[in-house]
Structure 1
Amino acid sequence: ARPGNRFWALLAETGLTPRRLAPAEDALLPGLGLGLTDLAQGVAGQDADIPPGAYAPARLAALVAQIAPRALAFTSLTAARLALGCPRLGAGRLGTDPRFGATLLWALPSPSGLARSHFSADPWHALAAWKRSLA
């Protein structure tokens, strides 16, 4: 993530991680009940820079079927909309989708600095509250 991206700060701010982790500490996430993957593997950058053909929702659905997480959170509304085929999808708790089994889906606003003008951390906090309620 670029310096203006709030991803790691949001994980700590919401309590999903006990402190702000550095990107190099991502191996600690599974021990906290979190995991990371990309909907578009092999490419990086802003949503507008990623070719539509790079998104692989079927690969993600297969990974979710294999791991069976309780929840899957997209950290980009664009990625969630592409993966779920819902162009007007809003942020927050989405429910389930047959392609992802019983996994609860969440769409979170992008923490990218480019999205800051219309960013809300509320869905991130809602996800964290839901995760805490499982304990």
Structure 2
Amino acid sequence: EVIANLSEAFQADDLLVMEVIPRVQVVMLALVGMQSSPGRYVSSLPHGKVYLGVTLSGVVKPELDRLHKALLGSAIEHIDSRFSAVQESPLSDFTVLNYREWPYGDKELSNYGKENVMSLVKQFFPLLTEEEVDDIPM
């Protein structure tokens, strides 16, 4: 369900690059949490319930726990690998534009993200006009 929600979010037409990292982080934290706390569906199976023609015993064998952790570990590795580019500059620098991440204090806000902005300017300098470069506070 957690991964499905992430997939659905990425299909939105209005998703901005600066919103990707927080969404991936939420999923990663949830998956890591599931490794130590399996949740109600994996920690016990309803005794006598039939799933795809198999009658469930209600007992969770250690193999299922190992398989569950291996599956989660694989998902975490894949997501981390798949989104590694988004977590590096210049794409990670776009998070400076996400107002939800901005600090609340005036002092912190006045210094927030200067390095990110300069990194973006450096990366996209060839695309900026001279006037746009002059308007960037340094």
Normalised-by-shorter TM-score class: under 0.3
Larger strand share, 1 or 2: 1
Please state which structure has a larger fraction of its residues in helix. Answer: 2
* TM-score (norm. length: structure 2): 0.25
TM-score, normalising length: structure 1 = 0.25
Which is greater in Rg? 2
